[in-house]
Amino acid sequence: MTEPEPPSVAALSLADKATAPVSKATEQEINPWDVQAAVDEDGNALEFDYPAISAKWNTKLIDNVILERFERLTGRKPHRWLRRGLFFSQRDLDLILDTHERGEDWLLYTGRGPSSGSMHIGHSIPFEFTKWLQDVFDVPLVIMLTDDEKFLFKPELKQAEVYEYARENAKDIIAIGFDPKKTFLYIDSEFFTSGHNRHFDLNSNEFMKLLTNNQIRGAFGFTGSTNVGSNAFAAKQCVAAFASSYPFIWGEEGKSWNRHAKLAAIPCLIPCAIDQDPYFRLVRDNASRMDQPSPKPALIHSKFLTSLQGAGGKMSASNPNSAIYLSDTEKQIKKKINNHAFSGGQETLELHRELGGNPNIDVPYQYICYFDDDDERLEKFAVDYRKGEMLTGDMKKECIALVTHYVKDFQEKRAKVTDEILEVFMTPRKLEWNGNPNPTKPKKVESGKQKGSAEEVAKVDENGQPLTKNAMKKAAKLAEIERKKKEKEAAKK
Ligand code: TRP
């Protein structure tokens, strides 16, 4: 036995409780390295307050107006994770929809920090959503695996080890079903030494010049003893949002030192969990200061996937019972949900029948919301649960069936992802996509020498009669004059 320890601070304060009550309450903490729910006076974790973080960071909540526009534009019902508020917040999503409406190019960008070799459903869901966006909009996508980031931030990790995690994660991500024609996936340590990264590297160096230590410390809470690499890494995750970092995707050369202004001007949409927002505020603040300026990247933010333990918990790779892993067996899934999933049901069957359960805090119900597309079925479960007609066991059974189906299906696809397939995704190359097949608004005129082409002006007169060639030429000339006038005005401003 060791010596008895001196009473801890907590014990002392408990003893003092009568004179000075100590509250255990803490506020929620959300940043890229630390996500903690608020804690009440008694030490219970509370649910994350998403409207509060949105208000604090000045993002826009996703509302019906934008969802309706989304549906009108794409002809697709918004994904259930949009309908049900899992993706709840955005920045400049309307500008991406404008770009799409005009039939112009834009880039999807997302990523993952490979801190372990195995991914859980909390990790795969953002990628499922990104794949859905890629399918709906038919746009190019880059996926960044930041093995360099994890190496810098996690003292215990070795470079070769994180690289292996990244490869395993990359295969998991590919198994989600991304289209190899439209997707460039890269592991930082590999791409950054590939020789195809000149424009990425030049962008990143230029961006580092724009960032001060104070800005980085302000955004991330770093101190003077944070390693230099961690301070500098932000630039990489930021410039990854510039299309000009990947000229090969557009079949452009990346040999010269000048990045392509035309590519830099291509807008980008980043689906990510809300904790990544501080990174992208940096790029939004500085994108216009680049030599070849880029628009502020747009963002679509998700909530954190609820851990099996429920309210205030985020699925965590360090606690195997907090999450369903993509490698879990049928048996493990069943056991985890039956034994570890927090239930909103009552203590006993009698009480449950009498009082009913609470689906809002019921983890199996939350998971059903993630995976079941059928809104009516979901509503029925909630109603029946509240009435006490549906039991905790019934809810768990439905949940187990859905999750098992998802994981099994995933595992079948994952088994087919070979090293060769991984190579295809990781090869810097020209991608192929179609974008919006029916642009409804005329193309925006590019700045520079380009003339107003016939495409940018009307091809019919007011009565819907086709214009003669001459009339079209005249209209093009007028459009060009109008454009120059606008450009001058803009320059004056
Ligand atoms: N920093 C992220 C993480 O630790 C990885 C990442 C890089 C990322 N680029 C991204 C995540 C873009 C979302 C979107 O997981």
Distance CA 223, CA 299 (A): 28
Is the pLDDT at 258 greater than 90, yes or no? yes
What spacing in Å lies between the alpha carbon of 110 and ligand 1's midpoint? 6
Q: According to the model, what pLDDT value does residue 458 have?
A: 44
Domains and CATH numbers, the chain: 50-307 (3.40.50.620), 454-492 (no CATH)
Distance CA 190, CA 197 (A): 10
Q: According to the model, what pLDDT value does residue 490 have?
A: 56
Question: Which residue do the tokens 């309450």 mark?
Answer: 25
Q: According to the model, what pLDDT value does residue 471 have?
A: 61
Q: According to the model, what pLDDT value does residue 102 have?
A: 96
Confirm if 133 and 165 have CB atoms less than 8 A apart.
no
Q: What is the dihedral of CA 30, 36, 37, 40, to 10 degrees?
A: -120
Would the CB of 241 count as within 6 Å of ligand 1? no
Q: According to the model, what pLDDT value does residue 8 have?
A: 36
Is the pLDDT at 405 greater than 70, yes or no? yes
Would the CB of 99 count as within 6 Å of ligand 1? no
Rounded mean pLDDT of 397-417?
98
* pLDDT tier, 100 (very low <50, low <70, confident <90, very high otherwise): very high
- Which ligand 1 atom is at minimum distance from the Cα of 279? 1
Residue 468 token pair: 């003669």
Would the CB of 270 count as within 6 Å of ligand 1? yes
Range with the lowest mean pLDDT among 20-24, 274-278, 349-353, 426-430? Answer: 20-24
* Residue partners of 271: CB distance under 8 A and separation at least 6: 87, 108, 110, 126, 129, 130, 133, 299, 300, 302
Rounded mean pLDDT of 373-382?
96
* pLDDT tier, 480 (very low <50, low <70, confident <90, very high otherwise): low
Is the pLDDT at 184 greater than 60, yes or no? yes
Q: According to the model, what pLDDT value does residue 74 have?
A: 94
Q: According to the model, what pLDDT value does residue 52 have?
A: 95
Question: Which residue do the tokens 């069936």 mark?
Answer: 401
Q: According to the model, what pLDDT value does residue 446 have?
A: 47
| Length of the chain counted residue by residue | 493
Instruction: Give me the percent of the chain exceeding a pLDDT of 70.
Output: 84
Which residue is closest in CA terms to ligand 1's atom 14?
110
Range with the lowest mean pLDDT among 43-47, 251-255, 257-261, 462-466? Answer: 462-466
Q: pLDDT tens digits for 192-240?
A: 999 999 999 999 999 999 999 999 998 899 999 999 999 999 999 999 9
- 179 burial via Cβ count (<10 Å: 0-12, 13-18, 19+): middle
Give the C-alpha distances (Å, rounded to integers) separating 399 from 79, 83, 204.
20, 20, 45
Rounded mean pLDDT of 75-90?
96
**Average pLDDT of the chain?**
88
Segment holding 87, helix H or strand E: strand 87-91
Distance CA 144, CA 124 (A): 14
Rounded mean pLDDT of 328-339?
96
Closest CA to 169 of 152, 150, 155, 153: 150
What spacing in Å lies between the alpha carbon of 32 and ligand 1's midpoint? 9
Distance CA 152, CA 159 (A): 9
Q: According to the model, what pLDDT value does residue 453 have?
A: 34
* pLDDT tier, 278 (very low <50, low <70, confident <90, very high otherwise): very high
Would the CB of 271 count as within 6 Å of ligand 1? no
Would the CB of 237 count as within 6 Å of ligand 1? yes
Would the CB of 143 count as within 6 Å of ligand 1? no
Q: According to the model, what pLDDT value does residue 1 have?
A: 35
Is the pLDDT at 179 greater than 90, yes or no? yes
Would the CB of 254 count as within 6 Å of ligand 1? no
Segment holding 14, helix H or strand E: helix 9-15
Q: According to the model, what pLDDT value does residue 460 have?
A: 43
Confirm if 148 and 236 have CB atoms less than 8 A apart.
yes
- Give the DSSP per-residue string, 172-209: HHHHTT--TTTEEEEEHHHHTTSSS-HHHHHHHHHHHH
Q: According to the model, what pLDDT value does residue 162 have?
A: 98
Q: pLDDT tens digits for 408-428?
A: 999 999 999 999 999 999 999
Q: pLDDT tens digits for 139-178?
A: 999 999 999 999 999 999 999 999 999 999 999 999 999 9
* pLDDT tier, 34 (very low <50, low <70, confident <90, very high otherwise): confident
Site to substitute for ligand 1 among 87, 123, 144, most atoms within 8 A of C-beta: 144
Q: According to the model, what pLDDT value does residue 440 have?
A: 82
Q: According to the model, what pLDDT value does residue 491 have?
A: 56
Is the pLDDT at 475 greater than 80, yes or no? no
Would the CB of 114 count as within 6 Å of ligand 1? no
Rounded mean pLDDT of 418-439?
97
Q: According to the model, what pLDDT value does residue 492 have?
A: 59
Q: pLDDT tens digits for 445-468?
A: 444 433 333 333 344 444 445 555
pTM: 0.84
Q: pLDDT tens digits for 112-146?
A: 999 888 899 999 999 999 999 999 999 999 999 99
Is the pLDDT at 444 greater than 60, yes or no? no
Which residue is closest in CA terms to ligand 1's atom 11?
111
Q: According to the model, what pLDDT value does residue 450 have?
A: 36
What spacing in Å lies between the alpha carbon of 113 and ligand 1's midpoint? 6
Confirm if 136 and 148 have CB atoms less than 8 A apart.
no
Would the CB of 276 count as within 6 Å of ligand 1? yes
Rounded mean pLDDT of 312-320?
72
Q: According to the model, what pLDDT value does residue 483 have?
A: 60
Give the C-alpha distances (Å, rounded to integers) separating 174 from 110, 183, 324, 344, 407.
13, 10, 19, 35, 15
* Residue partners of 18: CB distance under 8 A and separation at least 6: none
Closest CA to 434 of 140, 144, 221: 140
